Amino acid sequence: MTFNEIINSDKPVLVDFSAEWCGPCKMMAPILKDVKKELGDAVTIIKVDVDQSPQAAQAYQVQGVPTLIIFKNRKPLWRQSGVVSKAGLVDVLKKFTI
């Protein structure tokens, strides 16, 4: 499945734009795992390495990592750069799953 096919879903897709060398990105990994555990199939979470997929990062003007963007039906609905708490992410995602 391509990136565009994944974000063209009618359920929210949380894209984590990150990089291997990024300390805060490593902090996001367990948080995203917990969010997935809590929300299950209501949301899709994917990780995009900006070094391996610079075109995806460029397309959405990702300047810093981590940058989280929530897509639904290919539209970016929410974005934030930096580490986001599990509770904060769950709250935001729940708004888009109803």
Q: Dump pLDDT digits (tens) for 35-90.
A: 999 999 999 999 999 999 999 999 999 999 999 999 999 999 999 999 999 999 99
Which residues does residue 16 pair with via DSSP β-bridges, in sequence order? 47, 68
Q: Kindly list the domain boundaries of the chain, sorted by start residue.
A: 3-81
pLDDT of residue 29: 96
CATH hierarchy code of domain 3-81: 3.40.30.10
Give yes or no: 23 in active site.
Answer: no
Q: Are 13 and 71 in contact (CB under 8 A)?
A: yes
Closest CA to 48 of 93, 1, 3: 3
Among the listed residues 81, 74, 84, 82, the one whose alpha carbon sits nearest the alpha carbon of residue 44: 74
pTM of the model: 0.95
User: Of 14, 15, 25, 69, which one is the catalytic site residue?
Assistant: 25
> Do residues 17 and 50 touch, judged by C-beta distance below 8 A?
yes
Choose, from 22, 42, 77, 90, the residue flagged as catalytic. Answer: 22
Instruction: Kindly give the pairing relationship between strand 67-72 and strand 13-18.
Output: antiparallel
How confident is residue 1, by pLDDT bands cut at 50, 70 and 90? confident
Query: Quick one: 28 exposed, middle or buried, by C-beta within 10 A (0-12, 13-18, 19+)?
Result: buried
For residue 98, pLDDT beyond 70: no
Known catalytic residue at 40: no
